[in-house]
Amino acid sequence: MIDSEQGRNGGPPRDAEASRRSQASAEARQRLILAMIDNNARQLRFDSARAGADIEQAGALRDLARDPNDRDAAVRLEEVKRRIAILEEDHGRLVTEREWLNRSLMEFTEEAEGPCHERD
């Protein structure tokens, strides 16, 4: 007969195994949450950088409207357009990462709630 405190084949107690699995799951969930916090911080930096680029673009467009031959304004406009394109590519990756993090966290939550728990 197997002792209820001990696993099969004389292994570690089942409660200890469940505790280790629970601890590992909690640590993985915590890593996901920390990654979400980092993603949110990068989103704020993106928002700031994009707002700055939009302001620079408006300034260059204003200068070009005043003088269509303003070479400096034309160069500034092209530079800011390149920067905006790079920012938008980075933002796409940021959104994809955030969606993955959200799905992963939902899976953890659903797993913790168990199969009997229905979502509203």
pLDDT, position 5: 47
Domain tally for the chain? Answer: 1
Q: CA-CA distance, 13 to 75, in Å (whole number)?
A: 70
Report which of residues 10 and 94 the model is more confident about. Answer: 94
40 in any annotated domain: yes
pLDDT digit string (tens) for 26-66?
A: 888 899 999 999 999 999 999 999 999 999 999 999 999 99
pLDDT, position 4: 46
**CB neighbourhood size of 73 (10 A):** 19
119 in any annotated domain: no
70 in any annotated domain: yes
pLDDT, position 109: 81
pLDDT, position 11: 55
5 in any annotated domain: no
pLDDT digit string (tens) for 66-120?
A: 999 999 999 999 999 999 999 999 999 999 999 999 999 998 888 777 665 555 4
14 in any annotated domain: no
pLDDT at 7 over 60: no
Residue 66: domain span: 21-108
113 in any annotated domain: no
73 in any annotated domain: yes
> Which residue, 89, 66, 34, is CA-closest to 74?
66
The three-state secondary structure class of 19 is helix
